[in-house]
Amino acid sequence: MEEFQEAYGKALNYLSYRSRTESEMTRYLIGKEYSEEVIRKVIERLIELNYLNDYEYARRYIEITGENKALSSDMIKIHLKQKGIPSEVIKDALNALEVDELEHCIRLLKKKVKENEYLSDNQQRIKLKSYLFRKGFRMEVIHKAIDLLHKEFSKG
């Protein structure tokens, strides 16, 4: 019981800095060399109190990342997998938020077009495509976004 209290206190302290996934918390407690039984009980208690919730973690991560970094769904999946969130939870969170990759892609393009105005159209397209590809967008989304943006600038 004493080991549980100590581990639980360490876990709460670890959570006080930022939200964590079940996997991150488990790795942390393993690193502190607590027994598997104690770790399991601590994780169960944190889940029961909703201090650990992989679905909510994924949902918030997707919202924040989508607004600030505009990463593709594939790149978001990779980041969340690295944090130990199960694929099914990631899929549910992405579906619930209906991540609009095209919208994110266009938003990034608008920022980057301004930075590359000095380049020729062809050079600019190459640079923009490679930038978006590195962000994890599929080529079909990239081409569609570039075409839509080109039409928008042609009208304006």
How does pLDDT run along the chain (156 residues), one tens digit per residue? 899 999 999 999 999 999 999 999 999 999 999 999 999 999 999 999 999 999 999 999 988 886 666 678 888 899 999 999 999 999 999 887 766 778 888 888 888 887 777 777 788 888 889 999 988 888 988 999 988 888 877 665
Fold of 54-97: Arc Repressor Mutant, subunit A (1.10.10)
What distances in angstroms separate CA 4 from CA 19, 46, 82, one per listed residue?
A: 21, 12, 27
So what's the architecture of 101-155 in CATH? Orthogonal Bundle (1.10)
Is the entire prediction scored with pTM above 0.75? no
* CATH code for the domain defined by 2-48: 1.10.10
Give span(s): CATH 1.10.10, the chain. 2-48, 54-97, 101-155
Q: Cα separation of 92 and 72, whole Å?
A: 16
